[in-house]
Chain A
């Protein structure tokens, strides 16, 4: 209960405090409400009492503003209408004024142009009369310039301009004509037709004296300005080339200067003379021509140079500019290139010519005929070596070709003592070292070389081929003493030369090589001779040639086989032809059947005689030409063909009567007798010795012994044949087969017991 009382106490105390507070607040609220009432009253009063007077003032102000606005609008309208009209008027006025101004200016310039034209026309006219061509030209050029720039869009409607243009054209034509006329009057050519006379004199005259020097100058300068000078100078250059420089170079024409009335230059040509002038004389002459031109005509200054450092442009310079290339090319092509020597000795001397060319070049420069950058002469000077080699190679091949095309039958003898003919061998400068020599010696001891290894047997070769080989030696000798590129060129020229031989020689002489046995023989020798030297050439020169030639490329051995086979091929072909010919003759004997009958006997004997005649003819044409062993071999082969044919014919006969046998024996003996001398040549020792002939017959004719045995059989009895057979151990058995001997015995002997016995023994 105590607690309740305390809460009640607290509660009670609180209630009293709150009561006080509310009272005070209520009092304050009352006061504020009163104050509010007062304020509302004031406001309400103000609003309703003072409203009307204020409204009146505002309305008054509004009407005033309205008035002012109307006034402003009126003023603005005024301004718009009045001022704008005035502005338009004045601007169009300005426009018309300015166009008037323009028109006036145009008229003025056209008039000015007219005035200028008039001035130039008058000036040119006056100048014309005074022969002041330069002025005329200048005026005309001015006129043209004026006319070319239209000052008015519709200028072409102005008639007077057209007239002026026409007049200018006429004037210009007249000027050109006058200038040409003057040119012709002053620069005179007096030339002759080359067909008319032996001696031709071409003259160039300048009708120039102190008096008309000016006219000339005027003319030249006028032409320069007109642009017609170039054509004239080209023509002058052409004439100069045609009438003077070319004759001087190609016909060694003489040159003279005369100064009778006017300075005159004349070239005298002897048309029979075909010599090409030496560079020395040609250069001197050409120089004096140019000098003459320079002093008399071309020295005229065309235009003054503006730069002090540069000299004035002279006519010569212009002339040179137009013509120098052509003239120099002619000099180089026609004269200098021809004068390039074709051997080393002359090449040293040629340095003088090169010096002359250099001087010539300097003089031309001084004359300003050429400019520094002209390379024609310089190229020549710098390339003399190359040109030399080219020319030389060309010449070598040409010479070689001519040699190949010359006659085969002019021959020379090549003998053992002079294995290289008349050609000197190249001297070996660097001897092989001692070691190498020892090695060689050892080699030599091991294998014995025949003394004949590097020899060519005595025989005839064409002079031309000998010269060809000599040319090869000469060229190679020259190659070893030449500069490297030159040496290589020369070496290959020699190789080409021999390759050319392989193509040209057999082709060019084809017909004759096929038909004339002697030429075939010479051709054969020629090829062997060349092949021989092809073998020797390489080692003699290659070591002194530049690399890679000295390292093994400098050889000719690869050509040997080709050349040899050309020679042997031709000879074999010829022998085949001859063999066919001989067998053809023999065919007339119709196999030697029944030669005892008169007709057969005659034809058989005739065919044998023909064969012998042909063989003797071949001997005549071959024995001097071919090397002896080749001759014997060739002749032996042909005779062998003949006797094989004869033996085969006779051994296959079915029946040979006693008379037939004796006739055949006679015929064969005749052949035997005549065949021996075929092998006696002038070159063989003891040529008259019968023994020699016998040996040669046996050696060179494989079937000779068979032939001899046949002769024996034809004249033998059965016993002799049996003995000769000797049970297959005799000579007869050595040459004939059993069948052949039996056949012969059956044909020769009648069917007896004795024959049967003999036949039985032959087994």
Chain B
């Protein structure tokens, strides 16, 4: 892979309750594989993938897949540092995982260093028959917290690619969020262009 034409590297975090399918989403996105017996993540997993954005531009994604299970998490979640995008995952067949979203958002607010980072809410496992969380509920939550929203299934590939692409797109569109890493000057140029409003929920299947 040639790194020459890569526009930027973006740090993306995947968080959410244990067993909602964070690792599965990542593996479907990076390796296009799916393991029904996916083992619990311990501490943190890390993957790199380059995707094409806005015409011919390429963006390298440094994706951090974190452990959902309390006992497998490291004591200080230092991986939030410098994250530009966050994928918050819940399981549409588990109301409990949906109810925990507030706690995850709280943790995110507490540890994230970039406060305009882009958040995407993903309702995973839509292939399952028994749903406990409706799409409307998800959408409502996402709107309330100014997040992007999509429902997906790592098993059936549905919505996975789209979720990452949308997130990256949004980050690229957010002035001052990614360029600052390369050149400090761009920050001041785009700072005047403050018309951006984080409107959640426009992104649907």
Contact = CB atoms under 8 A, between A and B. Distances in A.
B78 A734 contact: yes
A695 B39 CA distance: 14
Contacts of A338: none
Contact of B74 (A691, A699, A730): A699
B60 A724 contact: no
Nearest to A731: B46
A699 B75 contact: yes
Interface string B169-194: 00000000000010000000000000
B181 A727 contact: yes
A694 B11 CA distance: 24
Interface in B60-110: 60, 62, 64, 71-72, 74-75, 78-79, 81-82
B42 A729 contact: no
A695 B72 contact: yes
A629 B48 CA distance: 35
A698 B75 CA distance: 9
B205 interface: no
A557 B78 CA distance: 38
Given A695-B71, A699-B75, A727 B62 contact: yes
Interface residues on B, range: 20 to 34
A169 interface: no
A734 B3 CA distance: 21
A378 interface: no
Interface residues on A, range: 10 to 19
A761 interface: yes
Contacts, number: 50
A700 to B, nearest CB: 9
A734 B79 contact: yes
Contact of A719 (B1, B8, B62, B72): B1
A112 interface: no
B81 to A, nearest CB: 8
Contacts of A364: none
A729 B60 CA distance: 10
A694 B48 contact: no
A722 B71 CA distance: 31
B74 A698 contact: yes
Nearest to A700: B75
Contact of B46 (A722, A730, A761): A730
A726 interface: yes
B43 A726 contact: no
A723 interface: yes
A726 B9 CA distance: 7
Contacts of A727: 8-9, 60, 62, 181
9 tightest CB-CB pairs across the interface, nearest first? Answer: A727-B9, A726-B62, A729-B11, A723-B48, A729-B62, A731-B46, A694-B42, A698-B43, A730-B62
Interface of B: 1, 3, 8-11, 39-40, 42-44, 46, 48, 60, 62, 64, 71-72, 74-75, 78-79, 81-82, 181
Given A694-B42, A731-B64, 4 more contacts: A694-B72, A724-B46, A729-B10, A730-B46
